Amino acid sequence: MLSLLIVTLSTCAASAAIDKRLDVPAGYVAAPYYPAPHGGWTSDWSESYRKASLIVSNLTLAEKTNITAGSGIFMGRCVGNTGSALRADIPQLCLQDGPLGVRNSDHNTAFPPGITVGATFDKDLMHARGVAIGEEFRGKGVNVHLGPSVGPLGRKPRGGRNWEGFGADPVLQGFGGSLTIEGVQSVGVIATIKHFIGNEQEQYRMYSLVQPGISSNIDDRTLHELYLWPFAEGVRSGVGAVMVAYNAVNGSACSQNSYLINNLLKDELGFQGFVMSDWLAQISGVPSTLAGLDMSMPGDINTIPLLGNSYWMYEYSRAILNGSVPVDRLDDSVTRILAAWFQMGQDQSYPEPNFSTNTQDAEGPLYPGALVSPTGVVNEFVVVNTSEHAEVARNISRDAITLLKNNNGSLPLTRNATLKVFGTDAEKNPDGINSCSDQGCDKGTLGMGWGSGSARYPYMDSPIDGFKSRGANYTFFNTDSFPSNSNPTTGDTAIVFINADSGENYITVENNPGDRTSANLNAWHNGDQLVKDVAAKYTNVIVIIHTVGPILLEAWHDLPSVSAILIAHLPGQEAGDALMQVLYGDVSPSGHLPYTIPKSESDYPASASLVGFELGQPQDTFSEGLYIDYRHFNKEAITPRYAFGHGLSYTTFTYTNATITSVTPLTAIPPTRPAKGATPSYSTAIPPASEAYWPANFNRIWRYLYSWLEKADADAAAAAANTSTYPYPAGYSNVQKAGPAAGGVQGGNPALFDIAYNISVVVTNTGRRSGKAVAQLYVQYPTGIDVDTPIIQLRDFAKTAELAGGESQTLEVRVTRKDVSVWDVGRQNWVVPSVEGDYGVWVGAASDALALRCGTASETCEEGVASPV
């Protein structure tokens, strides 16, 4: 341990040594992969690379290293602020959280988070939210939006940040993430897909002075088929940035893991943008550089930030001068960053930041992290939230609401129903809707979890606001203990609000350090008891749950008076009217569970529980492999309380008249990938030391990070230049590779995304009320193949428009080559295990409600078939 600390502290540039990884269980490998692939080889980025390379070839060493790192924590208006190259008109870039809206700002929309978006199963809403988020970030002058989050994937139901992503399935995450990216980037903002990768729990995630970050030990097949999948989709959508996670994978920190960054991300997935560290996730200088990291955020060293020390910036200049880092590595990083900037058109009158993440005041220190800072205007209170954005947010909140149970048609409510409303979750936080920094408390209506993925609410339209504006006949008991004065009367409808929260590790809420360690999967604030007490006195009880993820319902689910249960997920600012529209039947609920709800926590694989304290590096071994969430429940034949994808409506739908058409014929192995195109080429000579000298008479701000060196230091570094003395990692080579067979364009070999089968299905509303239906498509691999696969796996989905009773709509869904392949670890390629085999393509309303099967062998579809699970 001690040696690790010494290495961590001393891994700045010239003195760096390659740290020996700590042991992980046998079979979990992060094989070295060098060098970092140059970007620019796909045709869709070539023009941006051309523009970037013209600039890079004229930048000095110190200008280049200034662009690759932040100016220091709290050293600017945004949560991350790169250095500039003003001589070349390259401004500082503003990087800002988070996935659901502009964090720590004003006049922004607090959109519903990813988990709610996932529950809509609505691709149009996923995209519309991305556009709206992009418009707000652009309006605030943010260059780089730090979202979407598709990792954690949701392997651990108690994991703190699952709610920032779209659900416990790679395909749902894949669509949620890529449609968000396409929306955000359509208005010129660089999106950041995060956290790469395996960041499935909050505790022990970070490397610190006392402990290395947790190692997520993931085998190559599981990595490809589950955790990497949504990242591949994001890269395919042209995402401009990737943020690496805090944790290690297979013993090697994600920020310096060449297997992950160089191999999987930049070569196999063909990622053309830049890779940034999570905040203080960088733990070394040269090793992280060689492993493919392009940008250090916020720029400081991880152990003791805020003292003006960096692994990069001035140290990166030194490392180039003394030959520790090959010049082409720096040039590639800078080119990637500027290419992303050009790719989004940010060279064309892009707004400058007009807000501060550090304060709500109009004026304040420009560099709050500095000991002495100039002051000035930091918040200009630019209004970016529009009524159109609020409508997108409201529509998502509404269309995510998931009706789990509805006995005797107790929902929708009649206009004049007499309501008794219980639970503090029904009304705004009495201390103020933004009274807890980064929403780090669970008080009042729960619209989002806590941490960097939160935003300040411009308002909170609470459920009580909703009842009020409906003119509902209600009495509200703003308590989580059953009140003695509620006076139950025949004909009353009781509505109970409960919730479950979680968040990011740097805040502990009610003894939950991000992950739900204390609350477990139970409702917070004795919610179960409240429901039971209400159910003992009232005969018609409706339970409404705001939750970050799975929650146990068993304590009261089967009580005869509990007639209806709604999961309203996390509605952001739009909790009230969205819910009213569903409760009163203006619309039918159309959300579906983006995860399984179990009957007991012990129903999950034991390996998916939270890892506790361990001496040394905590080890989190993903030994359940592909079998997370519904894949596990199906394999073990465990009946959940509610299956993945479950969600009722006020009406009923049929799925009929399906057709399946083969489109691109399959072969066992995909056709040969296209070769890489040309990438920019620059001089590889070490630049003169003078390019890193401090400018004369420069007014330095103490603790601010700069890329210059004292003349003597720069000269000494240049004098020491001798690449042969640097202890390059095992397997190091500086010769660019052709790239793996599984690569080819952004996302991988383009043939992986060829459509193998098109499926159409007629969805008919067979009831009287109008409503929207979701068609979920799951693939079942043929029997008799020699590779183990989950029984069914979600591969696509589509949602109808609002259908009136009797109305039909034909939905189109598809199956790609990748959807019927498995990752063959030996061949390092996607292989179709049975080209002639009969894949079952199941379509229906939930993972356990599949009665329509199309067979790929017969190319016919059959209705009324027994569900495969």
Residue nearer to ligand NOJ on the CB measure, 514 or 618: 514
Minimum distance of ligand NOJ from residue 197's CB (angstroms): 13
SS3 at position 112: coil
Q: Residue 654 CB, nearest distance to ligand NOJ (Å)? A: 43
Smallest gap from residue 136 Cβ to ligand NOJ (A): 16
408: Cβ contacts below 8 Å, ≥ 6 apart: 563
71 binds ligand NOJ (CB under 6 A): no
Please say which residue, 70 or 323, places its beta carbon nearer to ligand NOJ: 70
Considering the complex, state which of residue 279 and residue 706 has its C-beta at the smaller distance from ligand NOJ.
Answer: 279
Query: Could you count the other beta carbons within 10 Å of the beta carbon of residue 803?
Result: 22
* Residue 151 CA: distances (Å) to CA of 167, 351, 555: 10, 30, 31
Report the residue number, 152 or 571, with the smaller CB distance to ligand NOJ.
Answer: 152
Q: Length of the chain in residues, anyone?
A: 869
The label of the residue with tokens 């892009």 reads 350
Q: Are 316 and 285 in contact (CB under 8 A)?
A: yes
- With 0-12 / 13-18 / 19 or more C-beta atoms within 10 angstroms meaning exposed / middle / buried, residue 322 is buried
Q: How far is CA 514 from CA 202, 499, 510, 519, in A?
A: 6, 16, 10, 11
Catalytic position from the list 219, 267, 278, 848 = 278
Binding ligand NOJ (rule: CB under 6 A), the pick from 200, 202, 233, 278 is 278
Quickly list H helices, 155-308.
Answer: 170-186, 220-222, 229-236, 258, 286-290
Select 104 or 272, whichever has its Cβ closest to ligand NOJ. Answer: 104
Residue 160 vs 645, nearer CB to ligand NOJ: 160
Task: Please report how the helices 711-719 and 314-321 are oriented relative to each other, as an axis angle in degrees rounded to 10.
Answer: 30
Contact set for ligand NOJ, span 172-211 (CB under 6 A): 194
| Other C-beta atoms lying within 10 Å of the C-beta of residue 371 | 10
Q: How far is the CB of 300 from ligand NOJ (least distance, A)?
A: 13
CB of 477 to ligand NOJ, least distance (A): 38
Has 300 been annotated as catalytic? no
Give, in order, the Cα–Cα distances in Å from 564 to each of 238, 411, 476.
43, 7, 19
Cα–Cα distance measured from residue 77 to residue 379, given in angstroms and rounded to the nearest whole number: 9
We find the least distance from the C-beta atom of residue 194 to ligand NOJ, in angstroms, to be: 6
> How far apart are CB 169 and ligand NOJ at their closest, in Å?
21
Among 18, 75, 131, 146, binds ligand NOJ (CB under 6 A): 146
Q: How many CA atoms lie within 13 A of 75 on its CB side?
A: 28
Based on the shown chain and the rule CB under 6 A, indicate whether residue 279 belongs to the binding site for ligand NOJ. yes
- For residue 668, the minimal CB distance to ligand NOJ (Å) is 40
Positive or negative: CA dihedral 531, 535, 538, 542 = positive
Q: CB-wise, 177 or 687, nearer to ligand NOJ?
A: 177
- Asked if residue 421 lies in contact with residue 497, where contact means CB atoms within 8 angstroms, the answer is yes
Of 231 and 538, nearer to ligand NOJ (C-beta) is 231
Instruction: Identify residue 413 by its one-letter amino acid code.
Output: L
Three-class secondary structure of residue 614 per DSSP: coil
79 lies in the binding site for ligand NOJ (CB under 6 A): yes
Per the CB < 8 A criterion, the answer to whether 771 and 805 are in contact is no
In the bound state with ligand NOJ, the residue whose beta carbon lies nearer, of 8 and 247, is: 247
Q: How far is the CB of 91 from ligand NOJ (least distance, A)?
A: 20
Task: Compute how many residues bind ligand NOJ; rule: CB under 6 A.
Answer: 7
3-state secondary structure of 591: coil
Q: At residue 531, what are phi and psi to the nearest 5 degrees?
A: -60, -45
Chain residues 424-463 in contact with ligand NOJ, contact rule CB under 6 A:
452
Could you give the count of Cα atoms lying within 13 Å of 553 in the half-sphere of its Cβ? 24
Question: ω before 301 within 30° of 0 (cis)?
Answer: no
**Residues in contact with ligand NOJ by the rule CB under 6 A:** 79, 97, 146, 194, 278-279, 452
Catalytic residue annotation: 278
